[in-house]
Structure 1
Amino acid sequence: MADLRDELPTATEVTAPPDDLDEDLPDDPFPTAGQSLVPDCPPDAGPLERAHALLTAHPVADGCSGLSRALPLLPRYDLELGDSNVDTDVPRLREGHVGALFWALHLPEGLPATRAVGATLEQLDLARTVVAQHPEGLRLARTAGQIIDARNCGRTAVVLGPAGAAALDDSLGILRILHSLGLRVLTLSGTSWAGEAGLTRFGEEVVHELNRLGMFADLSGAGDAVVRRTLALSRTPVLCTRSAARSLRPHPANLPDELLAELGAAQGLCLVPLTAAQTGPSVKDVADHLDHVRTVAGPQSVGLSGTYDTGAAHPQDLADPSRYPHLVAELIHRGWSDTEITLLTWGNVQRVLRSAHCTAQEARQRRQPSTARLAELDG
């Protein structure tokens, strides 16, 4: 925790625009018209060979890693050389062409509310420590440009989040501090202001402040009322970091078709999890969900969420991140175009990051940091 205390900003620093808003937007990752997405791939290449070629140029942005849950259970680990005690390590990330990883902050079940903020800070400290210990494989990133820089240097970019909304302790000041420490995604569920009845007035203020900061609202596991109200309010695309199609598999975290359609209309992003419980026991089952989300929400609104190291069982042949090329090969076999696959793996995440950056720049010009309090708005 010492390194986090050293970096806690003053009140002035928290309310000032962070340096990442001054960063130039990254170049569009896609080639111009007429250029091939895989220029070095032979025209007669099989699906797996073509999958590797596509992912070399347009790697996977994985929407949820559970390393924060798995690593504290181990007496020691070495992700650089490889570690059989976890699903995710640097060799398997490279083999699976994973260019970016969203690092979920795991809070144990039954954690007292008074411990949520401290436990979240400890999780941030763990993530930053692990990245610092593996400099040849991992690099912390806060923006689309930093993710591209990490990829160009042969590292996997680590983006911090999602974290549970309990981490705020109903304080927008704490939200700004967590943002200054690198948090970029907040899950809107499990609080008095984001429950089955929807967002309260304070919950709506949280969404506005997320937009102003350039952070994402994660709606996986949120009630339908919260999803709809957030989609209506947010000027930044929202994420569903662990949601598949409920019409194919009736899991509570999966989305019904009407919400998938609304998510697509709002240019949000559904990151389909590779778990047997949510998508089924085989690669073909996962591909069925990806097909369905692409059809209902649109190819610009579907992505991937490995959910490795979360304790979930994974489909056969998708046991760890090294297997991503086999999933992409299945999509190629089904007729997905190169453009649709590169949107799925890389382009859609880059799009929402760029959009959040632009929205935050505009919002900072119109809106000061919110000082709203839960008791004032919802009391």
Structure 2
Amino acid sequence: MADLQDELTATPGVGELDSLTAPDESRLPEPDPEPAPDRTTARSLLIRHPVADGCCGLPGTLRTLPWYDLEAGEHAVEADLPRLREGGTGALMWALEATADRPVTSVLEQIDLVDHVVARYPEGLRLARSASETADARAHGRIAVLIGPAPATAAGDSLGTLRALHHLGLRVLTLSGASWAREDGLTRFGEEMIREMNRLGMLVDLTGAPAATYARVLAVSKAPAILTRSGAAALNTHPDNASDDLLAALGANRGVCLVACSAARTGPALRDVADHLDHVRRVAGPESVGLSGMYDTGEPHPEGLADPTGYPALLTELLDRGWPETDIALLTWGNVQRVLRGVEFTARETRRRRGPSTATC
């Protein structure tokens, strides 16, 4: 009996415990895979972090229509209120066009139109001139409307006109095509324009700018710059797309490249837009990438992104590619808000040092 008791209570030797207690891993059931992100996940993210869209051509489209109803759903446009809400859009930069024969007047007429459209839909839209007003519109369930980008020709080579446009609400100016932003860089008056934009709190849009121009702008400007409708030139050679050198410089400047949902700039499919977003995020950094729908600009869109309701599908693609939610939040809302705040901070600091410039072209 003693021998039997010893046998039952004996401590296993070294290595015997593993053989007694370790299960056969080959017979264990496979762990459940992580659930793949779906549109429900993307929509939940968009509720918390809506899209701040970098370029919408709605003012130009509405000018051509005899009547419209953005609230009921308007088939003649791509970015009516129901589709903006369904796609999770929280802010829009409304792009203005400048005609060759009347650049200043045509932009003034569109600013007047923007004011009337926003006033007509107070339950859906709210005009915003700053980061705080953009956030306030979102907090009250409205879509914030920022005026711009507008072509630099709208300023008419006049700092006084630039200040008047800013007073009327213009917040973004595209340099491409300006007489003072040339292939070989900025003229002395051009540098003064950039300094005055810093003082006013206007965003400098480098879309389509030559390499010498953007290099000089980033050297002169004390505020972050943006690209309102670009892709990666390494993936698509459209003239408005940004080289890796520009993307890296923009990242160092803490600016933002708003990647265009444009078949010509980024490609014919939703995954092509995602490829550009991946590239910009890798080269410029996650704090320097955003979205530009290009809706109502007349440009064809990639399949799956024909209107703002495609944003949840695009975010789902990015989540499938491993983008963390923190980077998605920066992409959709955080980066644009940070740049707006940065430009406003620069303006306050600049006004302490200098008054309005009296330079002439």
If the length of structure 2 is used for normalisation, what is the TM-score?
0.89
Q: Equivalent residues in 2 for 1:178-189 (5 A)? A: 178-189=165-176
Question: Matches of 2:36 and 2:191 in 1, distance apart?
Answer: 50
Amino acid at match of 1:227: Y
Match of 1:255 in 2: 242
Amino acid at match of 1:84: H
Match of 1:107 in 2: 98
Question: Matches of 1:235 and 1:269 in 2, distance apart?
Answer: 15
Match of 1:268 in 2: 255
Match of 1:71 in 2: 62
Question: Matches of 1:179 and 1:335 in 2, distance apart?
Answer: 40
Question: Matches of 1:279 and 1:169 in 2, distance apart?
Answer: 32
- Identity across aligned pairs (percent)? 60
Q: Equivalent residues in 2 for 1:173-252 (5 A)? A: 173-252=160-239
Amino acid at match of 2:137: A
Match of 1:27 in 2: none
Any conservation in 2 of the 1:100–1:147 contact (CA below 8 Å)? yes
Deviation at 1:281, TM superposition (A): 0.6
Any conservation in 2 of the 1:211–1:235 contact (CA below 8 Å)? yes
In the alignment, does 2:266 pair up with 1:279?
A: yes
Match of 1:160 in 2: 147
Match of 2:71 in 1: 80
**Pairing partner for 2:318 from 318, 331, 336:** 331
Q: Secondary structure at the match of 2:229?
A: coil
Deviation at 1:117, TM superposition (A): 1.1
Q: Which has the larger radius of gyration?
A: 2
Unaligned runs of 5+ in 1: 1-42, 375-379
Deviation at 1:287, TM superposition (A): 0.2
In the alignment, does 2:337 pair up with 1:350?
A: yes
In the alignment, does 2:121 pair up with 1:134?
A: yes
Match of 1:5 in 2: none
Cα offsets for 1:158-192 (capped at 9, x unmatched):
00001111111111011111111100000112122
Question: Matches of 2:105 and 2:61 in 1, distance apart?
Answer: 19
Amino acid at match of 1:319: A
Q: CA RMSD in A?
A: 1.0
Match of 1:310 in 2: 297
Question: Matches of 2:140 and 2:287 in 1, distance apart?
Answer: 27
Q: Secondary structure at the match of 1:369?
A: coil
**Pairing partner for 1:288 from 246, 271, 275:** 275
Amino acid at match of 1:322: T
Deviation at 1:107, TM superposition (A): 2.3
Question: Matches of 1:73 and 1:319 in 2, distance apart?
Answer: 20
Count, aligned residues:
328
- Runs of 4+ in structure 1 off by over 3 angstroms are 43-46
Cα offsets for 1:50-98 (capped at 9, x unmatched):
1101110000000000112211111110111110110011101100110
Any conservation in 1 of the 2:36–2:320 contact (CA below 8 Å)? no
Q: Secondary structure at the match of 1:79?
A: coil
In the alignment, does 2:89 pair up with 1:98?
A: yes
Any conservation in 1 of the 2:234–2:243 contact (CA below 8 Å)? yes
Amino acid at match of 1:128: D
Deviation at 1:258, TM superposition (A): 1.2
Deviation at 1:47, TM superposition (A): 2.6
Deviation at 1:45, TM superposition (A): 7.2
If the length of structure 1 is used for normalisation, what is the TM-score?
0.85
Any conservation in 2 of the 1:273–1:279 contact (CA below 8 Å)? yes
Deviation at 1:44, TM superposition (A): 5.1
Any conservation in 1 of the 2:37–2:319 contact (CA below 8 Å)? no
Any conservation in 2 of the 1:80–1:136 contact (CA below 8 Å)? no
In the alignment, does 2:41 pair up with 1:54?
A: no
Deviation at 1:297, TM superposition (A): 0.4
Question: Matches of 2:36 and 2:124 in 1, distance apart?
Answer: 29
Unaligned runs of 5+ in 2: 1-33
Deviation at 1:365, TM superposition (A): 0.4
Q: Secondary structure at the match of 1:192?
A: coil
Question: Matches of 1:134 and 1:178 in 2, distance apart?
Answer: 23
**Pairing partner for 1:120 from 86, 107, 111:** 107
